[in-house]
Amino acid sequence: MISQRHLAILELVPSKPSSITIIQLKQKLFNSGLNLSTRMLQRDLQSLYYQGCFGLEKDTRIKPYAWSISKEWRGSSPLLSIELAQHYLLLEQLLPQNIPVDIKQTIHAKADIALQRLNGIKPEWLNLENNSSIKVNLDSKVVEQIEHAIKHNRSVSAEIYRVLYDQAHWLAFPELSFYGLEEDNGILMAQFMVGTLHDKCYQMPVYRIRNVKVLQKTRREPSLEQLSSLRSAINKGKRQDSINLIIKVPSQSSLNQGFVQFGELIEQKKLDAQTSLLKFNVQDTEQLTSELFRASHWLEVIEPQAVRSRIIKKLNEASNTYNL
């Protein structure tokens, strides 16, 4: 994923035949309000270079290295290579949804040019969209009622699905105050307060809510302290520490080729013709553990030991489930 910092760096790297050194680039970034250490800037440039999706080139004939952007990347030149066109399309596919609209439009425009270069045919390996077979069924009417209550500051009555002492129940609540809808890992979550006196805020998947009825009563508004308490509760148990993740992958994998990254690529080392070691600086989250487990049939976690142990535990549980 490309960050605003990476975009700022790429904007200041000149097109060939001009070039820029680390020291010159660091000063330009500082003048534009971005103060980076030399080491961090080196890591960022190496990461962008290894991804191969941004036209970044380095001249190793001189020290320190000189950096530039290929002419084909910044223009609609007819010399656009097939490989570069594929990189444009891949960048568009991996585009985060929360980036500024102008940047998104620029990348879409470049992808359109790239698709023309490929005669309108995308390569099969580019169809990497995550079409999960697990679908969450949402009642659109429930979502509409919650949105209406939030917009018009109204309380609601509703039923919420709860599991108490291993028994599942739909519990009726005469008064709830919804104040937010937020997506979390693909699941739409509703944030609310209960009744008129209870101080805590809660978050629950919308699919566990039914029979929402808007009341002619003003809803409660949570304080900043209550919102902070909810956020702390949501994050409780989630690992947010920064770690150096070392994994062993096939040399031809999407990770080793730089198409996909778990975080900031720090080091890349070829072990033999078939395998490579990659070192990423990442946030240690439950989502990371899930992604590593999903790829465990071709990827091996080497370090840290705590993450490796979590993956082994999940693999043992899967083995027991299937009586292997």
Domains and CATH numbers, the chain: 4-126 (1.10.10), 140-235 (2.30.30), 242-321 (no CATH)
Please state, in angstroms and rounded to a whole number, the distance separating the CA atoms of residues 120 and 128.
Answer: 17
3 state DSSP class of 111 = helix
Specify the length of the chain in residues. 324
Single-letter residue type at 44: D
- The one-digit pLDDT tens for each residue of the chain (324 residues) are 456 777 788 888 888 888 899 899 999 888 888 888 888 888 888 887 776 656 788 888 877 788 888 766 654 444 456 667 777 777 777 766 556 667 777 777 777 777 766 666 666 666 544 444 445 678 889 999 999 999 999 999 999 988 776 678 899 999 999 999 987 766 788 999 998 888 888 888 898 999 999 999 999 988 888 888 777 766 655 546 788 999 998 887 767 776 667 778 888 998 988 899 999 888 887 778 888 888 888 889 999 999 999 999 999 998 888 887
Q: Are strands 275-283 and 264-270 parallel, antiparallel or unpaired?
A: antiparallel
Interaxial angle between packed helices 305-321 and 286-294, expressed in degrees from 0 to 180 and rounded to the nearest 10: 60
Output the six-digit token pair for 252.
């031809």
Please state, in angstroms and rounded to a whole number, the distance separating the CA atoms of residues 178 and 242.
Answer: 34
Q: Check residue 212 and give its pLDDT.
A: 95
Element (H, E) at 277: strand 275-283
Q: Check residue 91 and give its pLDDT.
A: 75
Can you point out the beta strands (E) in 31-185? 56-59, 66-69, 154-164, 167-184
Please state, in angstroms and rounded to a whole number, the distance separating the CA atoms of residues 265 and 252.
Answer: 17
3 state DSSP class of 58 = strand
Are residues 44 and 5 in contact, defined by beta-carbon separation less than 8 angstroms? yes
